[in-house]
Amino acid sequence: MIFSKRLAFLLVLALLTPGIHGAQAETVSWQDRDLGKSQAFSMASSMSDEELLGQVFMIGFKGPGADSTILRWIREKHIGGVKIFGWNGEDLKVLAGAAGTMQQTAAESGQGIPLFIATDQEGGWVRHVKGETSITPGNMGIAAGGLPYDAYRTGKLIGAELRALGINMNFAPTVDVYVNPEAHVIGPRSFSSNPSTVAVMAQAYYHGMRSEGIISTAKHFPGHGNADEDSHGFLPIINDDIETLMERDLLPYRMLIPEGLPAIMTGHLAFPALTGDATPASLSKKLIHDLLRLRLGFNGLVITDDLRMSGAQQGGESIPQAAEAALRAGNDMIMISLDSRLHQRVWDHLHRVLETDPDFREILRNAVTRILTIKEEYLNRPWSVPLEPDPTILDKAIPADTEYLFQQACRAITAVADKSLPLDPSAKILLAGQLGGFFREGKRRFPASDSFDFAYTPFYSAPPGAVEGIISRAGRYEYLVFLLATPGSAEVLSEVVRKAPELKPRIVIISVLTPVYLFSMDWVDTALAAYGTGDESFAAAFAALAGEFIPRGKLPVSKASFGE
C-alpha cells in the first residue's frame, strides 16, 4: 500500500508531539491526521541532515518515464519535489504512470512523505504538459474578455487536467504586470498592464486551481513585467523604487497573500534601488526575507526559478553556491532542472555546509517546516490530487472543455481596427503566417484562400525568404491576412510594407500572443487581437473576420501603459 510507511512515520511523530511524551501514543495515519505547524516543526526537528536537505530539492529528470536516476534520488535522498518539463510531457499516459511510480517510491522510502509534482501549465503560451491538454486563450485573452469568471474557470480547467495526471503543483498564475514592451518573455503570460486587473484575475485563477486541489505558485517575485531582457539568458536590471513596486508589481501579491496563496516563485531579476547591488531577487535576503516575509507577511512556501538559468549566476557564483545563497536568502526550495551530475554537485556542497554550520541547519529546519505544512494542507485531504493517478480516465478528462474554450476565445477577440470587417467568405485571400492552427481555421472559414507559411524561428528577426515570398504573391489577392505573433513576424510585416507600400490597403492582421507590435503600425486599418494560439482562438478570430459575431474584447495593454 502506498501509505504503509506513512503510518509508521506518523506513529513516531505522535511520540514527538508535545503533551503525549510518556502517554499512550495516538494511532494516526498520513491521510486522516491534521498536521499543524507545530507538528511540522517537530517533524523537521527530528529529521537527519540528509532528510532535511532532500526536502528542499525540486529537480527535473530526462523522462518521459520515471527513470532509475530520479527514482534513486527519491528513494535515497528523500527529495521534496519533482518538476515536469516539456520533454517529460508529450505522452500523457506515460506521464501519469511516472507520477504514480514516483509517489509510490516516496511512500516506501524514509518517512513516506509525498512529493510535490510540479509543472508550468500557465495556459496559453506556456504549457509544459502537452499531448492532448488544452491550449487556453491565455492570461491576456482572459483579461481582454473582462470576466474574472473566465480566470476562475481557466484555473479550474487546467487544474482538472493536472489532477488527472497526478500533478499537484502548478507554477501559475503569472502575476507580472506587463509595463515594458521589451518584456517579450512575459508578454501574453501577463493578464494586463493594469495592476488591479492582474490582481483580480490572478485571485480568481488561484481559486479555480485550488478547487481542484492544485498548489498555486504565483510568479515571478517581485515582478518580471518591466524587464527588457530574458532571465533565462541574462540578469535583467530593473531600476524601479519600492514605492513603484508596492503600487504596481507587488499589488497582486498583496491581494493574493491574504487569500491564502500557498507558494511564490522568486525571479532571477536585479532591483538595485532596493538592494544596493545587482544581486538577483532569487538570492536576495532583502527581497525575500525583509520584503516578502516581513513587510508583505507571506508565511507560505518560496521556491526559486530554475537555478540553471543564467540570471541566477551573474555574480560569478557557481550553481552550488547560488543554491546555498538562495536558501540563506529565504527560499524554502531550490529548483534545478537537469542533470543528475549537477544535482549531485549541489547536494555535496550543501551537505558540507550543513555539517559545519549550525545556523544553516536552522535555516533548513524552518524551510522544511513550511514545506511539510503545505504538503499536509494540500496532499492530505479528501479533495487532494490522487497520489496514484488512473491513466484509464485520461481520454475522458483531457481535454477538459473545448466548447467552453471557444466561447472564452470569442469573448477575448478585440477589434483593434475594423475598416474591412467583415470579409466576404468568397474573397480571394492569401494567408501568411507561422502556426498550423492559423491555416487550418483560415481555410475552413475562407475555403478559396491560399497559404504562405514561413518559419517561427528566429523569434526576434525575420526568417530568410519570408519578405520576398509574401511580396511576390500578395499582389494577386484581394486581401493579405497576416498572422502577427512574434518580433520576427513583426519585422517581416514591416519590411513587406516598406518594400511594397501599395499592399497596405489589402493587409488584414490577426494578432496572437501580445498585441504590442501593433502599436508601432499606425497604418493598419483592419486588425483583430486573438491572444491565444490554440485552435479555439483561431476559430474565434476567423469567425469574427467572417462576420459571424461582433468582437467586443478590450485591449488589456495600451501605449500609455508603456509610457509611449
Q: Is 273 exposed, middle or buried (0-12, 13-18, 19+ CB in 10 A)?
A: middle
The class level of CATH for 35-397 reads alpha beta
Would you give the distance in Å from CA 127 to the centre of its chain?
8
Q: Residue 29's pLDDT is what?
A: 34
| pTM of the entire predicted model | 0.92
- The total of other beta-carbon atoms located within 10 Å of residue 468's CB is 12
Longest dimension (CA), the chain: 90
- For the question of residue 305 being annotated catalytic, the response is yes
Determine the pLDDT at residue 4.
Answer: 42
Is residue 420 within 8 Å of 508, Cβ to Cβ? Answer: yes
Q: Which residues contact 560 (CB under 8 A, 6 or more apart)?
A: none
**What pLDDT does residue 460 have?**
93
Catalytic residue among 32, 67, 232, 357: 232
pLDDT tens per residue across span 10-67: 333 333 333 333 333 333 334 445 656 567 888 898 899 999 999 999 999 997 899 9
What integer pLDDT is reported at residue 19 of this predicted model? 35
Instruction: Retrieve residue 406's grid coordinates.
Output: 471557444
pLDDT of residue 35: 57
Cβ neighbors of 230 (< 8 A, separation 6 or more) are 184, 185, 236
Residue 20 grid cell: 503525549
Per-domain boundaries in the chain: 35-397, 405-562
Reduced to 3 states, what is the DSSP secondary structure of residue 453?
Answer: strand
Query: Pick the catalytic residue: 305, 306, 332, 535?
Result: 305
Cis peptide before 173 (omega within 30 of 0): yes
pLDDT the model gives residue 41: 86
Q: 405-562 has which fold?
A: Rossmann fold (3.40.50)
Q: Which residues of the chain have pLDDT under 70?
A: 1-38, 563-564
Name residue, grid cell 519590411: 495
